[in-house]
Structure 1
């Protein structure tokens, strides 16, 4: 017999016979009406769990990770406000149901059953996934991730205080809001969670406002692995900067009282707290999970005997709020109502085509107030003596710095964050003087944790900011790539475009640093960024392009709510010369503030018909060097700078190469999984001329004199070009 049926039958029998579990008397400020509402939310959560299993058996539903045993979280929701943004654990159906009771006009049972049925009418995901979430309830959707939502909860809480100091145009959270973030006891051990706890404590320790309530739902087990008894309390009860609260989640009166105390502490002190809620897990992890395969029958039955709904029936009766017979009637009526609603929900339409599924990958545009940019006086005050140098050619790092300055003057919503971006001005000086110009509120020096840096950015975007996080080196992104893949990029997809994470992520990267750092500081792999749907990857090759592309990237984030990665080639930051010493051939003049390079527009140098070299970043610089030798050898060449690596600007690349008799792809990323693979496919499918590629080797990068040995060089580009056209080397 299914454990869900056993728990259901036990509830009916025990309530009818008055066989209720013992426990403490109901104590606390929970009113009779509130207590009944919390109980109703628990009954609905339980009925939905049972219905999801029935729907799956009938081939009408597709998700059975339930919330049974965690019904007490409805009391936590009752202690909060609907304006408190909530990032929910996937077992928090009762929380969402209870919050729906606080907001007029909700049809929560219908909405959640549409989600179970994967209907395209599901109001949160549009049928893309069964997720908890609701725009009306201030609950961004979460998938079944392992603690990956905790870093952004820290960021969202930080953004509340930041918005009081610099209110963004699209501010979403009131000044007195707190952020709620729940998770399981097993997830608390994940490195992502530990990083978030540490960041919250680190921030609080410095008395920086962070109104964040962490809630650990401790049911003692993660799928089949038990949490050691006392582990959560031992780990979190004395954590610096994090106030600890504990309640018995089987007692809705105690849970409400303690949650209210914790929320009051967070709201008034503007400090984070950790609420440890003791719960149980009924039925196993999900529908396919049979708990008796790894737990003894006695253990399973002991948990079932502690059913929180049975505890609630006793407590309500003792408080005089609801008689057991009335509680039983509510439970049975709720089950019947859910079954009726489900019968209609399964008939509603579902997604059918790829276009339907992909419709929300690209978020919707949002209206933004027009801006004429900063005044001449404001620019003069910000730039100071730098104004005098703007008419002279400069290196890339300086032009990026000036572009950032102008953008931050024009858009007060822009906030930068990262290790060393502030006082030091970045590892390579790209953000020098920005703290003096805009203050530490907008140039946030973070702790050393890439997940927390990106989480801060994602969370601040939730409150209307346009974050510009910096990852010091491309190799360091891999510590935190799931914050882009699993959180920022998927949010519009799973919310049907209702929630977005606009940002411009700056990363210093690629190879060719002479003898510095080896593969830790020279990383020539961008595959992890190119395969994330919806993410834009930009890579400039010179300072003027960098400034103009940065402006477009900010526009894409602010107006089109896109996640943009701006990859800055470290080796080109200081580059001055192109062909000879002191020729200044790679420096550029700062472009006028109204100049930008539109998304997808490629750069073309020359119009030679013998050969088109398609490349980007350092490859553009090296190809321009090789181009001179090719011209001397009589080969008429054009160099096409991609600029935008993902999504591939296919049409403009094909157009730029038209008329060329051959195409050589020069790719500083690796042979396997590199950009050249997509380019080879593009020109094979849509071109009719010979195509060859020159790539980096499938290797890490060495420190010392061999730093560039595994990557293309001006010489190897010349040789590959001559081989392609059939000429002598």
Structure 2
């Protein structure tokens, strides 16, 4: 017999027999009406779990990770306000149901059953996944997250204080809001979670406002791996900067009382707290999971004997709020109602085509107040003596610095964050003076944790800011790439465009640094960025185009709510010369603040018909070095600077190579997984004769061999001549 049926029949029999588990008397705080409402939420959560299994068995439901045993989260929801943004654990149906009761006009059972049925009418994901979430309830959707939502909860909590001082145009959270973030005891061990706990405590330790309530739902097991008894309390009860609260989630009254105390403490102190909530896990991990295959039957049955609904019926009876018979009637009526609703939900339409599925990858555009750029007076005040140098050619690093400054002058919601971006001015000096120009709350020196840097950005974007986080080196991104893949990029997809977290992530990357850093400071792999749906990857090669592309990136984030990665070639930051020492051939003048390079717009140098070189970044620089030799050899060529690596500017690139006898793709990334793979496929599909010059599938060495594995001026010349002669 399935465990879900065993628990159900046990509940019916024990309530009828008044055979309740032992427990404390009801704590004060809940009125009879409130207690009954919470019991209804718990019963609905349980009914949905049972129905999800029936739907799956009938081939009409597609998700069976349930919330049974975690129904105490209804009390936590009641202790919070519906304007308190909540990032929820996937076992928190009771929380969402209880919150729905706080907001008029909700049809929570219908909505959640549409989600179970993967119907395109599901109001949160549009049928893309069974997720908890609701715009009206201020619950951004999470999938089966393993703590990856904790860093952005920290960022969202930080944003509330900053928004009070510097209100962004699209602020979503009230000044007195707090952030709730729930997770399981097993997830608390994840490095992502530990980074979030540390960042929250590190921030609070410095008396920086951070109104965040962590909620650990401790059911003692992660699928089959037990949490050592007492581990969560031992780990968090004395953690500096994090106030610890503990409650029994099986006791509706006690859970509410402690959750209310914790929420009030966070709301009034503006500091983070940790609510340790005892729960149990009923039915196993999911529908296909049989807990008795890895747990002793006696242990499973002992857990089932502590069914939270049995505790709730006992407590309401003791409080005089509801008789057991009336509670039993609510339970059975709820089961019957959910069964009736599910019969209709499974008939509703589902997604059918790739186009339908992909419709929510790119978020909708949003209206933004018009801006006219920074005023001359403001620019003169901020730039000071730098204004005199803007008419002279400059290297890329300085031009990016000026572009950032102009953008921050124009858009008060832009906030930078990263290791060393402020007082030090960035590891390469690109952000020098920016913190002194705009203050430490708009240029934030973070702790050394890439997951927390990106989480801060994602969370702040939830509250209307345009974050501009910096990752010092491309190789460092791999410590935190799931924050882009699993959180930032998926949010519009799983919310059907109702939630977004736009940002412009700056990363110093690629190779060709002479004698410094090896593979950890020179990384020429962008595959992880190019294969995330919806993420834009930009890569400039000159200072002027860097400024104009960065402005477009900010526009894309601000107006189109996009997640953009701006990859800055480290070796080109200081580059001044092109062909000879002190020729100044790679420096450019700073373009006027209103000039932009649009998404998908490529650069074209020359108009030759023998050969087109398609490249980007350092490859563009090297190709320009090779250009004179190729022309001297009688090769009439053009050089196409892609600029945009994801999505590839397919139409513009094909138009740019039109009429050329051959195409050479110069890709400084690795042969396997580099942009050249997609470029070559596109060119061959369009009928072009093309070859490629790429880096080897190798890490980058330190010292004299720093460029040995990558394209060079000579290798480009050799490949171009061979291609044309062939």
Q: Where on the TM-score scale, by shorter chain, does this alignment land: which range?
A: over 0.9
**In 1, Cα distance between equivalents of 2:475 and 2:373:** 35
Report SS of the residue matched to 1:507: strand
2:72 corresponds in structure 1 to 72
**Cα deviations by residue, 1:116-147 (Å, 9 ceiling, x for unpaired):** 00000000000000000000000000000100
1:616 corresponds in structure 2 to 616
Is the CA contact (8 Å cut-off) linking 2:374 and 2:409 kept in structure 1?
A: yes
Shift of 1:659: 1.1
**Cα deviations by residue, 1:521-572 (Å, 9 ceiling, x for unpaired):** 0000000000000000000000000000000000000000000000000000
TM superposition score normalised by structure 2: 1.00
Kindly report which structure 2 residues correspond to 1:33-52, keeping only aligned pairs within 5 A, or say none. Answer: 33-52=33-52
Report SS of the residue matched to 1:705: helix
**Cα deviations by residue, 1:6-65 (Å, 9 ceiling, x for unpaired):** 000000000011111111000121111111111100000000000000000000000000
Report SS of the residue matched to 1:201: helix
1:648 corresponds in structure 2 to 648
Is the CA contact (8 Å cut-off) linking 1:282 and 1:304 kept in structure 2?
A: yes
Kindly report which structure 2 residues correspond to 1:417-496, keeping only aligned pairs within 5 A, or say none. Answer: 417-496=417-496
**In 1, Cα distance between equivalents of 2:21 and 2:196:** 37
1:247 corresponds in structure 2 to 247
**In 1, Cα distance between equivalents of 2:289 and 2:27:** 37
Is the CA contact (8 Å cut-off) linking 1:119 and 1:346 kept in structure 2?
A: yes
Structure 1 segments of 4+ aligned residues over 3 angstroms from their partners: none
**In 1, Cα distance between equivalents of 2:215 and 2:31:** 23
Kindly report which structure 2 residues correspond to 1:40-439, keeping only aligned pairs within 5 A, or say none. Answer: 40-439=40-439
**Cα deviations by residue, 1:42-101 (Å, 9 ceiling, x for unpaired):** 000000000000000000000000000000000000000000000000000000000000
Report SS of the residue matched to 1:593: coil
Shift of 1:338: 0.2
**In 2, Cα distance between equivalents of 1:628 and 1:362:** 42
Is the CA contact (8 Å cut-off) linking 2:26 and 2:318 kept in structure 1?
A: yes
**In 1, Cα distance between equivalents of 2:28 and 2:364:** 46
**In 2, Cα distance between equivalents of 1:136 and 1:264:** 23
**In 1, Cα distance between equivalents of 2:533 and 2:250:** 42
Report SS of the residue matched to 2:34: helix
1:698 corresponds in structure 2 to 697
**In 1, Cα distance between equivalents of 2:680 and 2:373:** 42
- Structure 2: which 5+ runs fail to align? none
Kindly report which structure 2 residues correspond to 1:529-544, keeping only aligned pairs within 5 A, or say none. Answer: 529-544=529-544
1:718 corresponds in structure 2 to 717
**Cα deviations by residue, 1:628-682 (Å, 9 ceiling, x for unpaired):** 1101111111110000000011010000001111100000000011111001100
**In 2, Cα distance between equivalents of 1:32 and 1:211:** 30
Report SS of the residue matched to 1:120: coil
**In 2, Cα distance between equivalents of 1:515 and 1:121:** 57
Is the CA contact (8 Å cut-off) linking 1:416 and 1:442 kept in structure 2?
A: yes
Is the CA contact (8 Å cut-off) linking 2:129 and 2:494 kept in structure 1?
A: yes
1:639 corresponds in structure 2 to 639
Is the CA contact (8 Å cut-off) linking 2:237 and 2:244 kept in structure 1?
A: yes
TM superposition score normalised by structure 1: 0.99
1:683 corresponds in structure 2 to 683
Kindly report which structure 2 residues correspond to 1:552-701, keeping only aligned pairs within 5 A, or say none. Answer: 552-688=552-688, 690-701=689-700
**In 2, Cα distance between equivalents of 1:636 and 1:473:** 37
Is the CA contact (8 Å cut-off) linking 2:168 and 2:464 kept in structure 1?
A: yes
**In 2, Cα distance between equivalents of 1:294 and 1:662:** 63
Is the CA contact (8 Å cut-off) linking 1:180 and 1:212 kept in structure 2?
A: yes
**In 1, Cα distance between equivalents of 2:437 and 2:711:** 40
**In 2, Cα distance between equivalents of 1:28 and 1:76:** 15
**In 1, Cα distance between equivalents of 2:581 and 2:226:** 66
Is the CA contact (8 Å cut-off) linking 1:502 and 1:557 kept in structure 2?
A: yes
**In 2, Cα distance between equivalents of 1:148 and 1:30:** 33
Report SS of the residue matched to 1:415: strand
**In 1, Cα distance between equivalents of 2:175 and 2:506:** 29
1:708 corresponds in structure 2 to 707
**In 2, Cα distance between equivalents of 1:13 and 1:598:** 68
Is the CA contact (8 Å cut-off) linking 1:262 and 1:273 kept in structure 2?
A: yes
Is the CA contact (8 Å cut-off) linking 2:373 and 2:594 kept in structure 1?
A: no
**In 1, Cα distance between equivalents of 2:557 and 2:407:** 12
**In 2, Cα distance between equivalents of 1:561 and 1:191:** 29
**In 1, Cα distance between equivalents of 2:575 and 2:429:** 14
Is the CA contact (8 Å cut-off) linking 2:505 and 2:566 kept in structure 1?
A: yes
Is the CA contact (8 Å cut-off) linking 1:510 and 1:525 kept in structure 2?
A: yes
Shift of 1:687: 2.7
Query: How many residues end up aligned between the 2 structures?
Result: 726
**In 2, Cα distance between equivalents of 1:30 and 1:243:** 24
Is the CA contact (8 Å cut-off) linking 1:539 and 1:566 kept in structure 2?
A: yes
- Structure 1: which 5+ runs fail to align? none
Report SS of the residue matched to 1:9: helix
Is the CA contact (8 Å cut-off) linking 1:414 and 1:465 kept in structure 2?
A: yes
**In 2, Cα distance between equivalents of 1:501 and 1:684:** 36
Report SS of the residue matched to 1:41: helix
2:508 corresponds in structure 1 to 508
**In 2, Cα distance between equivalents of 1:296 and 1:492:** 43
**In 2, Cα distance between equivalents of 1:720 and 1:10:** 76
Shift of 1:594: 1.2
Report SS of the residue matched to 2:435: helix
Is the CA contact (8 Å cut-off) linking 2:233 and 2:276 kept in structure 1?
A: yes
Is the CA contact (8 Å cut-off) linking 1:654 and 1:687 kept in structure 2?
A: no
Is the CA contact (8 Å cut-off) linking 1:365 and 1:559 kept in structure 2?
A: yes
Shift of 1:592: 1.1
**In 2, Cα distance between equivalents of 1:563 and 1:657:** 29
**In 1, Cα distance between equivalents of 2:55 and 2:27:** 39
